[in-house]
Amino acid sequence: PSAALTLLCGSAAAVVVWKWLGKRQIQKKMEEARRTRDEGVKKMAKAVQQFREQQVSSVQKDAILSLPLLELTGRLQEGSLSPKTVLYTYVEKALEVTQQTNCLRHFIPECEEQLQEIQRQREKGLLYGIPVSIKDHIGHKGHLSTCGLVQCLDALVQEDSVLVKVLKRQGAIPFAMTNVPQSLFNYDCSNPIFGQTLNPFNNQKSPGGSSGGEGALIAGGGSILGIGSDIGGSIRLPSSFCGLCGLKPTAERLSVWNTHLLNVDVCSRPTPVPCTLGPMARDVDSLALCMKALLCQDMFQLDPTVPPIPFNEEVYSSSAPLRVGYYDTDGYFPLPPCMRRVVWETKGALQAAGHQLVPFSPPRIHYVMTELFLKTFFADGGRAWLDVFTGDIVDPSLKSQVNSCKIPSLGKKLLALILKPLQFLLLLKLKNVATISTCRSVKEMWNHHHQIEAYRTEFIARWRELRLDVVLCPVLGPAFTTGYPGKLLTAISSTMLYNVLNFPAGVVPVSMVTEADEEELKLYQGWCDDPWDRTLKQAVAGAVGLPVAVQCVALPWREELCLRLMKEVETLSREK
Q: Please pick, among 133, 145, 211, 234, the residue that the annotation labels catalytic.
A: 234
Give 173's contacts (C-beta < 8 A, 6+ positions apart): 83, 87, 111, 114, 115, 118, 129, 130, 131, 132
CA distance 280 to 56: 27
Q: Please pick, among 210, 223, 229, 511, the residue that the annotation labels catalytic.
A: 210
Secondary structure class of 267 (helix, strand, coil): helix
**In Å, how far are 41, 108, 111, 137 from 37, measured between CA atoms?**
6, 10, 16, 16
Neighbouring CB atoms inside 10 A of 115's CB total 19
Whether 498 contacts 505, CB under 8 Å: yes
Identify which of 124, 208, 292 has the alpha carbon closest to the alpha carbon of residue 539.
Answer: 208
Residue 37: HSE in the Cβ half-sphere, 13 Å Cα cutoff:
25
CA distance 148 to 250: 26
397 marked ligand binding residue = no
210 marked ligand binding residue = yes
Secondary structure class of 230 (helix, strand, coil): strand
74 marked ligand binding residue = no
Sign of CA dihedral 105, 109, 110, 113: positive
Integer distance in angstroms from the first to the last C-alpha of the chain? 84
Q: How many residues does the chain have?
A: 576
Peptide bond into 547 cis (omega under 30): no
Q: Which long-range contacts (CB under 8 A, 24 or more apart) does 301-305 make?
A: 302/162, 302/165, 302/166, 302/255, 302/257, 303/162, 303/255, 303/257, 305/252, 305/255
Q: Please pick, among 135, 168, 248, 347, the residue that the annotation labels catalytic.
A: 135
139 marked ligand binding residue = no
Asked if 210 is an active-site residue, the reply is: yes
511, β-bridge pairs: 548
CA distance 540 to 533: 11
Asked if 161 is an active-site residue, the reply is: no
Asked if 80 is an active-site residue, the reply is: no
Identify which of 155, 174, 152 has the alpha carbon closest to the alpha carbon of residue 163.
Answer: 174
232 marked ligand binding residue = yes
Three-class DSSP labels, 48-82 = HHHHHHHCCCHHHHHHHHHCCHHHHHHHHHHCCCC
231 marked ligand binding residue = yes
**In Å, how far are 175, 228, 248, 259 from 135, measured between CA atoms?**
11, 5, 14, 10
Identify which of 538, 472, 539, 533 has the alpha carbon closest to the alpha carbon of residue 507.
Answer: 472
Secondary structure class of 106 (helix, strand, coil): strand
Q: What are the catalytic residues?
A: 135, 210, 234
* Binding site as annotated, residues for substrate: 184, 210, 231-234
* Binding site as annotated, residues: 184, 210, 231-234
